[in-house]
Amino acid sequence: QVQLQESGPGLVKPSETLSLTCSVSGGSVSSGSYYWSWIRQPPGKGLEWIGYVSYIGSTEYNPSLKSRLTISVDTSKNHFSLRLNSVTAADTAVYYCARVGRGYNYGFWFDPWGQGTLVSVSS
């Protein structure tokens, strides 16, 4: 079964760039049947969809983050990545990666998810 695992620094300084990678095992990011997505949850708050990337590198971003955001895919390493520029304390959150299932007349859904990684923005 497909498993996803986030990795990256747990602490980032304000104004710097947050970079995370999601490694996929038991499946391939080259599958055209899925997208690959990032979601975050600030402490004590709800879930926020960040964006997704397809296997050919096409993307869809949350407009609230679009100006600072890059999501990319590396099929040779079977992983996808998140870069968020100019971070502030408001970007402190647990960051999850997830596979996006899709179906005509069914919409899109996140399954499975990674376990999540806490990223704190602080000097």
Residues that bind another protein (CB under 8 A): 4, 46-49, 60, 62-64, 96, 101, 103, 105-116
Closest to another protein by CB, 59 vs 75, is 59
Shortest separation between residue 96's beta carbon and another protein, angstroms: 7
Residues 6+ apart with CB under 8 A from 73: 29, 36, 53, 54, 55, 57, 79, 80, 81
CB of 13 to another protein, least distance (A): 26
Q: How far is the CB of 2 from another protein (least distance, A)?
A: 11
Which is nearer to another protein, 32 or 107 (by Cβ)?
A: 107
Q: Which is nearer to another protein, 16 or 48 (CB)?
A: 48
d(CA 38, CA 50): 5
Specify the residue for token string 């080259």: 30
**Which tokens belong to 100?**
């996006």
Number of helical H runs and strand E runs in the chain = 0, 11
